[in-house]
Amino acid sequence: MLVAQLRAGNVEAFRKLFFDVHAPLCAFVERIVGDDARAQELVQDLFLELWQRRESLSLSGSVRAYLYATARNRALNVRRRDQVERAWEDDESLDDVRALHEPPARADQLLEQAERHEALTSAMNGLPERCRTAMQLRWQEGLSYAEVAQVLGIGVKAVEKQLARGIRLLRDALGNPSNE
């Protein structure tokens, strides 16, 4: 129904879709590219293109899943291009120098929270790409299993397996302090 409304040029339907999906889609893209301004630009371009191509729009699934899949692919392309461009500039020792100059945590609670967050982020980054993306789409973006399957181009059962695998790997990584 939404696709038909968009094809017909229904501005209100487009506006509602934009306001419903724009912010979470930007957050999703930002996690991939690591830059809020770049994420905003990618999502804006995606919505512009959606509106410009609305008359020829033919989707087999939800518009939301289409937007996430397209945004994911574009963001991954940007990230790959950026990694190639920055490869010669990266110097991991700079992180160690910056860490020496950071002020200490103000309280034990803040320190513990930061350590938990860092451990979870590290564990998530250690997951295989498809597994990590499935987990982000399902639990951070709130997509259904079917929508995650559509975004990743896999079946719902494969999504279930990726999520179960991700949970198992996270439990292993976070439950065993010797992994650090």
Show me where the domains of the chain are located: 1-87, 125-175
Top-confidence residue, 109 or 73: 73
For residue 162, with 0-12 CB atoms within 10 Å meaning exposed, 13-18 middle and 19 or more buried, which class applies?
buried
CATH topology of domain 125-175: Arc Repressor Mutant, subunit A (1.10.10)
Percent of the chain with pLDDT over 70: 84
Looking at the predicted structure, is the pLDDT value of residue 89 above 60?
Answer: no
What is 1-87's CATH number? 1.10.1740.10
H-helix or E-strand spanning residue 140: none
For the entire predicted model, the pTM comes to: 0.56
Task: Give per-residue pLDDT as tens, 35-70.
Answer: 899 999 999 999 999 999 888 878 777 888 889 999
Q: 79 or 27: whose pLDDT is higher?
A: 27
Is the backbone of residue 102 left (phi > 0), alpha (psi -120 to 50) or beta? beta
- CA 63 to the chain's CA centroid: 17
Cβ atoms of 61 and 144 within 8 Å: the answer is no
| Per-residue confidence (pLDDT) for residue 172, from 0 to 100 | 87
Identify the pLDDT of residue 178: 45
Tell me which residue has tokens 């990618």: 42
